[in-house]
Amino acid sequence: MKWFDNWFQKKCRESWENAQKDLENISKESYPVPSVPRGGRLAGHDNTLSAPGINFTMYRANGGFIVEHAEYDSITDRRTVGLHIIPSGKDLGESLGSILTYEMLKK
């Protein structure tokens, strides 16, 4: 059984050394991450993933849907809420897309 112990120790050591070499290669090949996202940063707006976004809530109503959107603006320290009505005869996906586009263009 001694041969198995020696073989296992050799394989573990080789694996460890290969992992260390891979880590060294990765650290040499890594590129710095830019702090400003592509397209620049809008004045007064935080474009990071931790920035507060727009929250949409959809309620079922008689004859369609009601879409409520809420957004927090940290500059003015205000929360704005708006409502949109989608009649039952309209395409829901297309209406939600136009609401989202409209709200993003308002910014």
pLDDT tens-digit map of 6-19? 888 888 888 888 87
pLDDT tens-digit map of 19-44? 777 766 665 555 555 554 444 445 45
Does 97 or 48 have the greater pLDDT score? 97
- DSSP run (H or E) holding 21: helix 2-29
Question: What are the domain boundaries of the chain?
Answer: 1-30, 54-106
How far apart, in Å, are the Cα atoms of 45 and each of 14, 49, 75? 50, 12, 8
Looking at residue 40, what is its pLDDT?
A: 47
Nearest to 47 by CA among 56, 38, 55: 38
DSSP state of 32: P
How far apart, in Å, are the Cα atoms of 47 and each of 10, 39, 42, 54, 98? 50, 10, 8, 13, 22
Distance (Å, whole) CA 47 – CA 78 = 18
pLDDT tens-digit map of 56-100? 899 999 989 999 988 888 788 888 888 999 998 888 889 888 888
Looking at residue 47, what is its pLDDT?
A: 57
